[in-house]
Amino acid sequence: MDSNTHVVIMAGGIGSRLWPASTPEMPKQFIDILGVGRSLIQLTVDRFSPVCDMSHFWVVTSSAYVDTVKSQLPEIPQENILAEPEARNTAPCIAYSCWKIMSAYPDANIVVTPADALVLDKSVFADIIAEALAFSASCPAIVTVGIVPTRPETGYGYICSAGEAPGKVHKVQSFREKPDIGTAMKYLEAGNYFWNAGIFVWKAETVVSQFRRFSPGIAEIMDRLAPSLNTSGEAAALKELFPLCEKISIDYAVMEKSPDIYVIPADFGWSDLGSWGAVRSQMVSDAADNAVVGKDVRLFNCRGCIVHLPSQKTVVLEGLENYVVAEKNGALLVCRLSEEQHIREYSADK
């Protein structure tokens, strides 16, 4: 366990595609969406626990979720829970956390990860992260984790790599947007295209220099914030300055512009759990391919469904095929899985 290693968990999203289980008041990263007794952010901490001491874990989240983070992750120091005054996408979020860490730990080597993904093979995952950290410590490079694709997926962005070998670090040739099905099939056949998992590894000084070069507007705001970091004036300065940052993802702000990006391909059973179909595919199913979270769910002549209900509810379903049925706090969803891409609009306030 390297004393210079830090883990930053991004936990500010609202997970609207998993409504009604995930809501802005309690989004998916704080929910036991898989019915395993741990929320997704708790599972994230579990798999990173061999990487560094809990004193070097950081969570960046909305101010609305700070108390939830504290209650779910009491082992992380309260001062390491960083509250964004407002959502500005991933680039400002990452910049704030890395400037903050570097102000106290100039030699920090940092892993940045989403809070809401699933990893099945923790051993392979730990090996990949260790390899990425060793590479980023040795040179001024950014390493991203690429997932070896198992199907022609159109819902993920892709990383085009100069090499194919899993577990080895390769130069990134380009980042690609979410493809259509024909392009996704070509990516799968080519062998050197990997799903972008949104996991980044870098030294603090490396990412700060990359921001200065490719996103100088955000860097300038962080430099104005820097004198207040780790002082009693940090919250007030952050409230004033953070909303001035451009609302932009780290991919657009830095990754797609920098020549210093590398990828380490891996296959450790990853999913972003971004839809009910994705959740169902990672759960234990019955003989008819139904996946259930709930204490008293009775299915008759149902096939390929996911049912997600509070434990105190009793529900009887008959004759459904490939449906999602989910209920929380009086909101009920019954939707064909083939139409789940519309859940966000179905659930939007009218």
| CA atoms of 322 and 340, how far apart (whole Å) | 11
Give the end of a domain, one of 271, 299, 316.
Answer: 271
The reply to whether 315 and 185 lie within a common domain is no
The reply to whether 176 and 288 lie within a common domain is no
The reply to whether 142 falls in a domain is yes
Spatial neighbors of 151 by CB under 8 A, at least 6 apart, are 188
Give the end of a domain, one of 238, 271, 304.
Answer: 271
Residue-wise pLDDT for 49-86, tens only, equals 999 999 999 999 999 999 999 999 999 999 999 999 99
| CA atoms of 67 and 155, how far apart (whole Å) | 32
pLDDT at 323: 97
Contact call for residues 13 and 3 (beta carbons, < 8 A) = no
pLDDT at 14: 82
Q: Can you list the alpha helix ranges (DSSP code H) found in 252-314?
A: 276-281
The reply to whether 84 and 149 lie within a common domain is yes
| Mean pLDDT of the region 212-222 | 97
The pTM of this model reads: 0.93
Is 348 a residue whose pLDDT tops 80?
no
The reply to whether 304 falls in a domain is yes
- The 3-class secondary structure across 152-196, one letter per residue, is CCCCCCEEEECCCCCCCCEEEEEEECCCCHHHHHHHHHHCCEEEE
The reply to whether 276 falls in a domain is no
- Residue 310 confidence class, pLDDT cut points 50, 70, 90: confident
Is 350 a residue whose pLDDT tops 70?
no
Give the end of a domain, one of 224, 250, 271.
Answer: 271
Percent of the chain with pLDDT over 90: 86
Domain span holding position 189: 5-271
| DSSP structure string for 252-267 | IIIITT-S-EEEEEE-
Number of domains in the chain: 2
The reply to whether 277 falls in a domain is no
Q: What are phi and psi of 97, to 5 degrees?
A: -65, -40
Rounded to 10 degrees, the C-alpha dihedral 257/258/264/267 comes to -20
From the DSSP assignment, how many helices (H) and strands (E) are in the chain?
11, 17
The reply to whether 323 falls in a domain is yes
Residue 87, Cβ density class (10 Å: 0-12 exposed, 13-18 middle, ≥19 buried): middle
The reply to whether 301 and 329 lie within a common domain is yes
Residue-wise pLDDT for 4-38, tens only, equals 999 999 998 887 889 999 999 999 999 999 989 99
